Structure 1
Amino acid sequence: MKRIDCLVLPACVLLAACAPLPPADNAALTKQVTATERAFAQTMARRDFAAFQTFLSEEAVFDGGREPLRGKAAVAAAWKAYFEGAQAPFSWEPDRVAVLASGTLAQSGGPVRDPQGKVMARFNSIWRQEAPGQWRVVFDKGEPVCDCKAEKP
């Protein structure tokens, strides 16, 4: 009898580990990512470079220049200059957030504004949940705003 118990218990544990996870609460995760994006943006407004770095994944890729910045250290080194001076050179805020049904990745996007409040670009970021409730940016790309009416066909 004891031998059967020794076999049944590990089998039950293994089966439980293979059971699908309950579905993520997408609305709650969307609020969580939105709050994380806003907190990330506030690091620029507060001129808090140390806090900015805590939102970066070790694998972060920021694309917006000549070549993508790869890795947390490279992103931080390139962005350090944006935190110098009393006034932030730009600000951003999310106006859309979407989270995968699995709750592991999210996309955020929104306007980037100059110090006078004029929209100068849009950002798009991909966030990864690296621990429960802990989102870090893995991809970020800024795009200049197009004045499409001024362009000729």
Structure 2
Amino acid sequence: MILLAAVLMTSTAAPSPTCQVWQREQAFAHSVRAHDAAAFRTFLADDAVFDANSAHPVRGAAAIAEAWAPIVAGKDLQLDWQPKHVVASADGRLVLSSGPYVLTTHGKDGQAHTTIGHFSTVWRRGRDWGVAGAV
């Protein structure tokens, strides 16, 4: 009987913040692979910042959605990424997700050009998880 209770308690426990963000990061990437701008927008916190390590960070969900529209459309380039590491703050309200990305563009010569890099996303728990910042 005690074993059954332990199994039931385990199966109803909420996933950890790292598991939740792992799943959200994969869904976020899928929104781009699926060219779904509406789904992409749902992952952005209103005060999100993208390209934080650049000279011109993009601030706010609306500006990010606009800047990323060609990427999400996927006509001139394709972007894909997967989390490799997901680490939560001690209180579980902030989570860093990072891993490799693959960017494929097509040059004027028609040849595919592939760039492999590393992304980082900071997720913040609010009503739901939202991207607070991405690099």
Give the whole-Å Cα distance in 1 for the aligned partners of 2:32 and 2:76: 9
RMSD between superposed Cα atoms in Å = 2.4
Q: Which has the larger radius of gyration?
A: 1
> Structure 1: which amino acid aligns with 2:129?
W
Aligned amino acid, residue 138 of structure 1: A
Map residues 96-115 of structure 1 onto 2, 5 A cutoff. 96-115=85-104
Q: How far apart in 1 are the matches of 2:54 and 2:78? A: 16
Normalised to the residue count of structure 1, the TM-score between the two structures is 0.67
Higher relative contact order at CA 8 Å, sep ≥6: structure 1 or structure 2? 2
Q: Counterpart of 1:139?
A: 133
Name the CA shift for 1:127/1:77 in 2 (closer, same or farther; >3 Å): same
How far off is 1:101 after superposition? 1.8
Structure 2 counterpart of 1:127, one-letter code:
W
- Indicate yes or no: 2:120 matched with 1:124: yes
Q: Distance in 2 between matches of 1:46 and 1:70?
A: 24
Structure 2 vs 1, CA of residues 109 and 85 (structure 1 numbering), >3 Å: closer, same or farther?
closer
Which runs of 5 or more structure 2 residues have no equivalent in the other structure? 1-12, 105-111
Secondary structure of 2:131's match?
strand
| Identical residues among aligned pairs (%) | 36
Contact persistence 1:90–1:112 (CA under 8 A): yes
TM-score (normalised: structure 2): 0.76
